[in-house]
Amino acid sequence: MPTISMFYGIVIYMYLVDNKRHHLPHIHTRYQGKKASISIETGEILDGEIPSTKLRLVQAWIEIHRENLMADWELATNNELPLKIPPLQ
C-alpha cells in the first residue's frame, strides 16, 4: 500500500493490482482512523467514510492531480509502484 501523498492529516495511498473490487480508478484515504475509497474520475466515495471537510480537500486535490493519479493508477494496476504526488497546499 504505497503512500502517494499526505496533507492536513490525510494519507492518500494506492494498492497494487487493486482493480477488481471497485472496477474503476480510485485512491484510498485515511484520516484519524476513518478510511475511504474515492473515485479518481468523480471524487465520489466508493466505500468507507471520511469527514466531509476532509473529503472536500481530497476532491480538490484529485481535481488538480487527476492526470497524475490516472498515470499512477496505470502503474499500480500493472503491479508497479505509483509515483509520489505533491500535497495540497
pLDDT tens sequence across 57-85: 999 999 999 999 999 999 998 999 999 99
The answer to whether residue 86 sits within a structural domain is: no
Domains held by the chain: number: 1
The answer to whether residue 83 sits within a structural domain is: no
The per-residue pLDDT for range 16-41, each reduced to its tens digit, is 887 666 578 999 999 999 999 999 99
The answer to whether residue 82 sits within a structural domain is: no
Pick 1 or 6 by higher pLDDT.
6
User: What residues pair up with 11 in beta bridges, in sequence order?
Assistant: 6, 30
16 φ, ψ to 5°?
A: -80, 140
The answer to whether residue 32 sits within a structural domain is: yes
User: What's the domain range around 19?
Assistant: 3-77
Q: Is 78 helix (H, G, I), strand (E, B) or coil?
A: coil
Whether pTM > 0.85 for this model: the answer is yes
Determine the pLDDT at residue 22: 59
Determine the pLDDT at residue 19: 65
The answer to whether residue 84 sits within a structural domain is: no
Determine the pLDDT at residue 16: 86
Q: What is the mean pLDDT of residues 1-15?
A: 95
